[in-house]
């Protein structure tokens, strides 16, 4: 992949020019779907964009010292990482890529969570610190399943290159990995039943408690971009290879939309779990998935 192609993917499609409006749209879909499930009207179509603009116009609390600089840095790093993850998605046929770009995608997907953890501890707020501690525990719990699923998919297809994964026919182990990734997304996106780090009824907004104004707007944008990247990853792994660019884009958008609806229905139909129940759930899923993944890998090796 040359420099021009890389910049086009990062800045145009599926990069920032596409990802930012898509982030606001997916946030609206999630909120609207939850509201409809609960018998409410829900927000208007442009509400996530209006919220972003409103936050940009508000004042940011004055902070001094290194902690103040770090609190400004974390949301910018989170937005950059999430945007980079979206730019790596192999949406278009022959979109380039490089060996091991799946590993880079995983690192970029995990960086916003690390920034949230650091932001809560940097805020010197008891609510922020509790939220960050919960985020750290939750991240350790679901990332075992998430990473195991990705590695299993890559191992079954004998490549860590995203474009190659998107073009190869799906195997049983690949579908098993996609299901495991779907199980991890509610925790990664902080929605029920795993919305522990930002539980408003318990710790206000967790790591975001001390944030306001443009800094909070960047966190909201980062969250929306995480939706685009996470649902887009599932869409690219689940979609069959399509050589026609416009049809590939339509399939990608449709699958991402369906994943958002599925996660929204789960969020509306469930209540928040306690931290010990959440950790126990993901470790049980890890054990089950590990056994299935190893068994499937051995079965595929014996067949070949």
The CA distances from residue 168 to 26, 163, 188, in Å, are 28, 9, 27
**Nearest alpha-carbon partner for 113 in 142, 153, 90, 72:** 142
pLDDT at 200 over 80: no
pLDDT range class, residue 233, cuts 50, 70, 90: very high
Q: Give the CA count within 13 Å in the CB-facing half-sphere of 16.
A: 10
pLDDT attached to residue 304: 61
| Separation of alpha carbons 290 and 145, rounded Å | 8
pLDDT attached to residue 29: 95
pLDDT at 220 over 80: yes
- Collapsing DSSP states into helix, strand and coil, what is residue 249? helix
Residue 114: exposure state from Cβ atoms within 10 A (0-12, 13-18, ≥19):
middle
Number of CB atoms found within 10 A of residue 304's CB: 5
Domain ranges of the chain: 3-303
Residue 130: exposure state from Cβ atoms within 10 A (0-12, 13-18, ≥19):
buried
Q: What is the pTM of this model?
A: 0.91
Q: Residues 14-33: pLDDT tens digits?
A: 888 999 999 999 999 999 99
Decide which of 117 and 284 is more confident: 117
| Separation of alpha carbons 250 and 256, rounded Å | 10
pLDDT at 300 over 90: no
242 Rama class: left (phi>0) / alpha (psi -120 to 50) / beta:
beta
pLDDT at 208 over 70: yes
pLDDT attached to residue 253: 93
CA-CA-CA-CA torsion sign (261, 264, 270, 275): positive
pLDDT attached to residue 125: 83
Comparing 4-8, 124-128, 169-173, the range with the smallest average pLDDT is: 4-8
pLDDT range class, residue 217, cuts 50, 70, 90: very high
pLDDT attached to residue 302: 66
pLDDT attached to residue 199: 66
pLDDT range class, residue 223, cuts 50, 70, 90: very high
DSSP state of 101: H
Number of CB atoms found within 10 A of residue 22's CB: 21
pLDDT at 47 over 90: yes
The string of DSSP codes covering 221-235 is HHHHHHHHHHHHHHH
pLDDT attached to residue 203: 62
Residue 59: exposure state from Cβ atoms within 10 A (0-12, 13-18, ≥19):
exposed
Mean per-residue pLDDT over the chain, rounded: 86
What is the mean predicted confidence (pLDDT) over 131-150?
88
Let me know: does 207 contact 128? Beta carbons within 8 Å: yes
DSSP state of 64: -
């Amino acid at each position: 992949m040359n420099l021009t192609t890389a910049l086009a993917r990062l800045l145009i499609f599926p990069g920032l020019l596409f990802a930012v409006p898509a982030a606001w749209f997916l946030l609206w879909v999630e909120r609207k779907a939850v509201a409809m499930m609960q018998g409410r009207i829900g927000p208007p179509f442009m509400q996530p964009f209006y919220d972003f603009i409103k936050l940009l116009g508000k004042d940011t609390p004055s902070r001094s010292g290194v902690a103040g600089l770090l609190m400004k840095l974390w949301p910018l790093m989170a937005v950059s990482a999430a945007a980079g993850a979206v730019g790596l998605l192999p949406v278009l046929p022959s979109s380039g890529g490089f060996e091991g770009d799946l590993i880079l995608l995983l690192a970029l997907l995990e960086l916003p969570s690390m920034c949230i953890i650091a932001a809560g501890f940097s805020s010197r707020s008891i609510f922020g610190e509790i939220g960050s501690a919960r985020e750290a525990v939750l991240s350790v719990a679901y990332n075992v399943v998430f990473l195991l699923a990705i590695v299993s998919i890559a191992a079954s297809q004998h490549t860590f290159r995203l474009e190659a994964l998107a073009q190869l026919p799906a195997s049983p182990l690949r579908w098993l990995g996609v299901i495991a990734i779907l199980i991890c997304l509610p925790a990664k996106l902080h929605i029920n039943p795993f919305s522990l780090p930002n539980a408003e009824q318990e710790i206000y907004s967790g790591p975001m408690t001390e944030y306001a104004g443009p800094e909070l707007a960047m966190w909201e944008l980062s969250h929306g971009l995480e939706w685009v990247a996470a649902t887009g990853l599932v869409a690219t792994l689940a979609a069959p290879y399509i050589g026609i660019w416009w049809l590939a884009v339509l399939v990608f958008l449709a699958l991402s939309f369906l994943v958002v609806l599925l996660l929204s229905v789960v969020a509306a139909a469930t209540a928040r779990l306690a931290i010990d129940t959440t950790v126990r759930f993901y470790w049980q899923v890890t054990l089950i998935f590990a056994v299935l993944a190893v068994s499937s890998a051995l079965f595929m090796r014996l067949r070949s």
